[in-house]
């Protein structure tokens, strides 16, 4: 029989090597390869043959199952992101930068959950129980019947959870958990993977909803193998700018609900407040109309959200002018600049371009193209756009405006927030929303002509 030999695995792409090396041949990442114990082949090291298992009961797709019962977490915005509440026996990973407010969010959720009469256990591997109690006091939640433990030993935690059988267990954080059957330091890939595997299995077996907190690396990934993301049912990211009070909880994967849904919170002295109307909040900091500022009517998940997009165009002393983007895709910005140059003859060569989505919001919708183009043009011409107008629409490489989804919801939200005009693809004209006049253009060139003279 072959000697069990450890193997070396790339934590970024999962490629397997016999020997350690500094750079992964398959994905090119540096320092991503770590040693791992091999998977044993069955209980006695024998291969898994067709005769050794026990036949599994097979059913058909038509079998009727009731949808999973859900219980509200007590935080409406968290429930929205989860797709309507916590599903029993599900595993949820909440990732985010250190200090962004993950522990605060989950302590609040645990407390509200417990106050409904359901059992919640909060295990912290990062803070002492006294620290957590102090935080609970600050949040005004000291009376909530949450069961608390400061512990890192996975074995002890699993034993405790097995006795308690809570409806909700929060593990803060997965990187601090230590499985004594794995020979590597806490936080290492093998440890994180083993701990996540045990906790997810526990959730499935005992029907507890388990929330794992995960820290995010500099590259913006949840530290440890991507495998953890595959193991859990739901992956949520908690994000926001440190200097801003807004925090956004975003579903990036959800087996029990729509992905891309967001929940919006505001960090206050007494914890996180839910923001029921994010558009009003994102636009509240807007001052007098200034060149380069545009309101984009976006959709996040199922909810329309209005945000301000700001552009600054300044002469550049550099041979290669700067292109700086916060909250949007920089590749997409280059594309819009290229379309403006090639289709409208408006060049940004020789200018630094800065683009910022206000409030710490991050947009990934192509529908923001038109708002970005309008912001860039307005900044370049130093000419403010009408303040009562929202923009949305995708721009194709030919410069044409392409239709987008949910035009009606966008228009309704704009109308609700006091806007009276929208510049959008012609499709938006077919949905009549009272109080909003839709202006549409065949292509970007026509829009430039209308707003900025002959262009
Ligand atoms: P925390 O939840 O500890 O972040 P994480 O678990 O993601 O590392 O939040 C830490 C920050 O939140 C800290 O800088 C202080 C701030 N904070 C408030 O502003 N108000 C509050 O009520 C609390 C509890 C924290
Ligand atoms: Mg924390």
**DSSP letters spanning 18-35:** SS--SB-TTT--BS-EEE
> Which of 94, 101, 133 has the most ligand 1 atoms within 8 A of CB, as the residue to mutate?
101
Give the start-to-end residue ranges of the domains of the chain.
1-42, 76-276, 281-452
Which helix (H) or strand (E) is 162 found in, with range? Answer: helix 154-164
102 lines ligand 1 (CB under 6 A): yes
User: Which residues does 209 contact at the CB level (< 8 Å), separation at least 6?
Assistant: 71, 86, 87, 88, 89, 90, 91, 92, 167, 168, 169, 203
Task: Assign domain 281-452 one CATH number from 3.50.50.60, 3.40.50.150, 3.40.50.720, 3.30.230.10.
Answer: 3.30.230.10
Report the C-alpha gap between 124 and 211 in whole angstroms.
Answer: 12
The answer to whether 212 touches 234, Cβ cutoff 8 Å, is no
Q: What DSSP string describes 307-339?
A: EEEEEEEEE--SSS--EEEESS-HHHHHHHHHH
Question: How many other β-carbons are positioned within 10 Å of the β-carbon of residue 101?
Answer: 19
103 lines ligand 1 (CB under 6 A): yes
pLDDT at 257: 85
Which helix (H) or strand (E) is 438 found in, with range? Answer: strand 437-439
3-state secondary structure of 423: strand
In this chain, the answer to whether the domains covering 76-276 and 281-452 adopt an identical fold is no
Strand partners, 268: 271
98 lines ligand 1 (CB under 6 A): yes
What topology does CATH give the domain 76-276? Rossmann fold (3.40.50)
What is the pLDDT tens value at each position of the chain, 455 positions in all?
455 577 888 877 778 898 999 998 888 888 888 887 665 544 555 566 667 788 888 888 877 777 778 888 889 999 999 998 999 999 999 999 888 999 999 999 999 999 999 999 999 999 999 999 999 999 999 999 999 999 999 999 999 999 999 999 999 989 999 999 888 888 778 888 899 999 999 999 999 999 999 988 766 666 665 778 889 999 999 988 777 788 999 999 999 888 888 999 999 988 999 998 888 888 877 777 889 999 999 998 888 999 999 999 999 999 999 999 999 999 999 999 999 999 999 999 999 999 999 887 889 899 999 999 999 999 999 999 999 999 999 999 999 999 999 999 999 999 999 999 999 998 888 888 889 999 998 899 998 888 776 44
pLDDT at 307: 93
Cα 71 to Cα 67, 85, 121, 166, distances in angstroms? 13, 5, 15, 13
Question: How many other β-carbons are positioned within 10 Å of the β-carbon of residue 273?
Answer: 15
Q: What secondary structure letter does DSSP report for 86? A: B
> Which of 99, 135, 216 has the most ligand 1 atoms within 8 A of CB, as the residue to mutate?
99
Question: How many other β-carbons are positioned within 10 Å of the β-carbon of residue 417?
Answer: 17
Q: Whose CA is nearest to atom 8 of ligand 1?
A: 99
Q: Whose CA is nearest to atom 21 of ligand 1?
A: 271
Distance 139 CA to ligand 2 centre (A): 15
pLDDT at 455: 43
Distance 124 CA to ligand 2 centre (A): 8
55 lines ligand 1 (CB under 6 A): no
The closest alpha carbon to 68, from 209, 210, 168, belongs to 209
pLDDT at 5: 72
Report the C-alpha gap between 427 and 446 in whole angstroms.
Answer: 16
Task: Indicate the burial class of 175 (C-beta count within 10 angstroms; 0-12, 13-18, 19 or more).
Answer: buried
pLDDT at 218: 65
Residues 190-220, buried b or exposed e (16+ Cβ, 10 A)? Answer: bbbbbbbebbbebbeebebbbbbbbbbeeee
Ligand of minimum distance to the alpha carbon of 172 = 2
What is the number of residues in the chain? 455
């Amino acid at each position: 029989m072959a000697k069990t030999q450890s193997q070396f695995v790339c934590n970024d792409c999962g490629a397997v090597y016999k020997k350690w090396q500094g750079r992964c041949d398959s994905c090119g990442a540096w320092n991503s390869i770590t040693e791992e114990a091999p998977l044993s082949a069955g209980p006695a090291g024998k291969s898994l043959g067709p005769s050794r298992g026990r036949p599994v009961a097979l059913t058909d797709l038509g079998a009727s199952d009731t949808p999973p019962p859900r219980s509200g977490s007590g935080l409406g915005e968290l429930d929205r992101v989860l797709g309507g509440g916590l599903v029993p026996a599900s595993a949820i990973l909440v990732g985010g930068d250190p200090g962004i407010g993950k522990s605060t969010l989950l302590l609040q959720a645990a407390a509200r959950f417990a106050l409904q009469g359901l059992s919640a256990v909060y295990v912290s591997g990062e803070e002492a129980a006294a620290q957590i109690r102090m935080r609970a006091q600050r949040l005004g939640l000291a009376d909530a019947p949450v069961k608390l433990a400061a512990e890192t030993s996975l074995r002890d935690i699993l034993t405790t959870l097995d006795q308690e059988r809570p409806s909700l267990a929060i593990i803060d954080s997965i990187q601090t958990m230590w499985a004594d059957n794995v020979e590597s330091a806490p936080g290492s890939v093998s440890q994180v993977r083993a701990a996540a595997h045990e906790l997810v299995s526990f959730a499935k077996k005992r029907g507890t909803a388990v929330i794992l907190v995960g820290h995010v690396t500099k590259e913006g990934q949840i530290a440890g193998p991507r495998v953890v993301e595959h193991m859990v049912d739901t992956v949520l990211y908690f994000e926001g700018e440190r200097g801003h009070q807004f925090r956004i909880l975003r579903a990036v994967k959800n087996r029990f609900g729509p992905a891309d849904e967001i929940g919006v919170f505001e960090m206050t002295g007494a914890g996180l407040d839910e923001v029921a109307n994010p558009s009003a909040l994102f636009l509240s900091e807007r001052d007098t109309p200034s060149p380069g500022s545009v309101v984009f009517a976006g959709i996040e998940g199922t909810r329309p959200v209005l945000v301000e997009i700001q552009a600054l165009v300044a002469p550049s002393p550099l041979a290669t002018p700067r292109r700086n983007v916060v909250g949007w895709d920089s590749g997409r910005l280059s594309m819009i600049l290229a379309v403006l140059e090639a289709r409208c003859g408006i060049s940004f060569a020789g200018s630094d371009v800065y683009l910022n989505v206000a409030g710490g919001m991050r947009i990934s919708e192509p529908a923001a193209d038109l708002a970005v183009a309008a912001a860039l043009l307005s900044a370049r011409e130093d000419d403010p756009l009408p303040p009562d107008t929202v923009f949305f629409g995708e721009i194709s490489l030919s410069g044409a405006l392409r239709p987008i989804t949910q035009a009606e919801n966008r228009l309704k939200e704009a109308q609700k927030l006091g806007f009276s005009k929208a510049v959008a693809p012609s499709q938006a004209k077919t949905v009549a929303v009272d109080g909003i006049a839709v202006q549409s253009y065949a292509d970007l060139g026509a829009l430039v002509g209308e707003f900025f003279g002959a262009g």
